[in-house]
Amino acid sequence: PWRLRFGLEALPPVDAFWSITMYDSTNFFVDNPIDRYAIGIRTPGLRLAEDGSLTIVISRTAPADELAANWLPAPEGHFRLSLRLYNPRPAVLSGEWTPPAPMASS
């Protein structure tokens, strides 16, 4: 499993919305039991931590804790993520803001 954590001050700076889309190694959506192909600020039930940070869980199986709402199903093997930023603010366009890197988790 992987985790992608956006700190409170590191959420994507956009004036519309953002999303992360999951693709398999052949650039198709990943079939999964919850029919979730992307996750983002508009995802129903998305859970922020008490400190306002957001952790997205990227894995083949759903997490068994409170982060189940933040699960982006991944295939076994290789995959590709695409971060889409709609109406990005100047910090994105200038390169001042960069997204966090996914971190392997146990």
**Tell me: the pLDDT tens digits for 80-100?**
999 999 999 999 999 999 999
Per-residue pLDDT reduced to its tens digit, 65-80? 889 999 999 999 999 9
What is the overall mean pLDDT for the chain?
A: 94
Of 6, 7, 3, 12, nearest in space to 85 by CA: 12
Judged against a pLDDT cut of 80, whether residue 106 lies above it is answered with no
Q: Which pLDDT value is given to residue 68?
A: 94
CA distance 37 to 58: 11
If we measure between CA atoms, which residue out of 46, 73, 56 comes closest to residue 10? 56
Please tell me the predicted confidence (pLDDT) of residue 105: 84
Residue of 59, 16, 8 whose CA lies nearest to 41: 16
For residue 44, which amino acid is it? P
- pLDDT tens for 53-62 read 999 999 999 9
- The DSSP 8-state label assigned to residue 11 in this structure reads S
**pLDDT band at residue 25 under the 50/70/90 scheme:** very high
For residue 9, what pLDDT is reported?
85
CB-CB contact of 17 with 40 (8 Å)? yes
pLDDT value of residue 8: 83
Reduced 3-state DSSP string for 15-77? CCCEEEEEEECCCCECCCCCCCCEEECCCCCCCCCCCCCEEEEEECCCCCCHHHHHEEECCCC
